[in-house]
Structure 1
Amino acid sequence: MRLIIAEDSALLRAGLARLLADEGHHVIAEVGDADALLAAVTADPPDVTVVDVRMPPTHTDEGLRAALHLREHHPHVGVLVLSQYVEQRYAAQLLAADTRGVGYLLKDRVAHVEEFLTALEQVRAGATVLDPEVVRRLLARTRRTDDLERLTDRERTVLTLMAQGRTNTAIAQQLFISRSAVEKHANAVFDKLRLPRDDATNRRVLAALRFLNS
């Protein structure tokens, strides 16, 4: 297949290019930043692009944003994203729309040559390829979101105010309800979020973190 590699590490970029060439594939461009990737794809669209999530200049999400751009403007080009760690927000963004011809693998997976090559073939064929660890994290994130969706409107309001640092007394005054009613709603929130009951855990803090992370 015809490929473009976008990876800011020159060593990894060269290693990938050599590996793919040895397997009979044609690497038509090797680039080190997102702008160069978009220009290369526009000039000569490949079958698949291999894209690092974090690229210059900020090394945050340039590669991911370039991948999203490619999905929108070059939908027939497969995109296999590589990441050092599981970045749930980035994976969710990439999979939010059309997932045909999309892959998200951890860089450790590249060490398993056959798995990596198989993933490229699957992406070229229009399949969706996800690293098992990415799937596990996304499912865990979905379960957390599902727990929050079980809250009533009043319970969500109480949780929102708790996340803002309000005390039960302050919440009661703002909502014009009794402090005992606030405590009842708070305990319902803790139970629905399945937070542990033990002396070593502050359920109020865990609930606020769960809300903020959602």
Structure 2
Amino acid sequence: MRVILADDSTLLREGLVRLLTEEGHQVPAAVGDADALLAAVDREPPDVAVVDVRMPPTHTDENLRAALEIRRRHPGTGVLVLSQYVERRYATELLTGDPAGVGYLLKDRVTEVEEFLDALHRVAAGRTAFDPEVVRRLLARSSHAEGLARLTPREREVLREMAQGHTNAAIADRLWVSRSAVEKHINAIFDKLDLPAAGGQSRRVLAVLRYLDG
């Protein structure tokens, strides 16, 4: 796949470029600020843009705005956000709209190469990829605690796996239950959270995360 990188850490950029090229992917641009990111994506839209949240000049939300602009200008380009911390506002703002091809990983996760590459492939394929810690924070700080309180412990586990972008089959394998049991849990989750059963895995995940964020 074709990947454009945006991070103000030269060391991290070069490390990711080397990792991705060794895996057979193309990296047409690796930049250090939001303006250069948008210019690179406009010039040659990639399959995925890997974007750090906080970058120069103010180290606030330049890259988040750039990521949202990429989603608007190039809906076929996936966006995988990297962050040092769980930036709840940024995560939920990025999720607003069509969730296909969106991911959010903590930078520590990049050191786990297989997990990073798996997330990259999921985002490129139009699915979602969320760090388990990001999902945990979204669940824990939800303004819809009353709705979540109605979920059983197993349903919360299934919801957490869904939000990470796993398919029903993958959830069944990870939780050591049958696929039909997973489907029943998912239907119960939607009923208890008053969410319609959206068609498609990533739309379903975003519906849950949107509701949790309020």
Please state which band the TM-score falls in when normalised by the shorter chain: 0.5 to 0.7
Question: For 1:111-147, what per-residue CA distance to the aligned partner results, in whole angstroms no more than 9, with x for missing partners?
Answer: 00000001110000000110000001111122x3445
Corresponding residue for 1:105?
A: 105
CA separation in 1, counterparts of 2:18 and 2:88?
Answer: 30
Task: Write the deviation string for residues 148-189 of structure 1: whole angstroms up to 9, x where unpaired.
Answer: xxxxxxxxxxxxxxxxxxxxxxxxxxxxxxxxxxxxxxxxxx
What amino acid sits opposite 1:30 in the alignment?
A
Residue number in structure 1 paired with 2:131 = 131
Aligned equivalents of 2:7, 2:13: Cα separation in 1: 6
Structure exhibiting the larger radius of gyration computed from Cα positions: 1
1:33 paired with 2:33, answer yes
Which deviations, in whole Å up to 9, do the C-alpha atoms of 1:97-124 show, x marking residues without a partner?
1110000000000000000001110000
Alignment of 1:73-152 (within 5 A): 73-142=73-142, 144-146=143-145
Which amino acid counterpart does residue 28 of structure 1 have in structure 2?
P
Separation (CA, whole Å) in 2 of partners of 1:21 and 1:122 = 18
Which residue of structure 1 aligns with residue 58 of structure 2? 58
Equivalents in 2 of 1:71, 1:139: separation in Å? 25
Structure 2: segments with no counterpart, 5+ residues: 147-213
Amino acid of the structure 2 residue aligned with 1:91: A
- Could you say which residue in structure 1 is the equivalent of 2:8? 8
Residue 96 of structure 1 and its aligned partner are, at CA, apart by 1.5
TM-score normalised by structure 2 residue count: 0.67
CA distance in 1, matches of 2:117, 2:79: 14
SS of the residue corresponding to residue 5 of structure 1 reads strand
Aligned residues: 148
Distance 2:145 2:69 in 1: 30
What is the CA deviation profile of residues 29-50 of structure 1, one whole-angstrom value per residue up to 9, with x for unaligned ones? 0100000000000000011010
What code does the residue aligned with 2:59 have? Answer: H
Task: State the partner residue of 2:197.
Answer: none
Higher RCO structure, 1 or 2 (CA under 8 Å, sep 6+): 2
- Aligned-residue identity in percent: 70
TM-score, with length taken from structure 1: 0.67
Alignment RMSD (CA, Å): 1.5
Q: Could you say which residue in structure 2 is the equivalent of 1:19?
A: 19
Q: Do structure 1's residue 71 and structure 2's residue 32 form an aligned pair?
A: no
* Shift, 1:63, TM fit: 1.0
Instruction: Write the letter of the residue equivalent to 1:99.
Output: P
> Cα distance, 1:52 vs. partner?
0.2
SS where residue 99 of structure 1 aligns?
A: coil
Separation in 2, partners of 1:145, 1:122: 28
Question: Equivalent residue for 2:154?
Answer: none
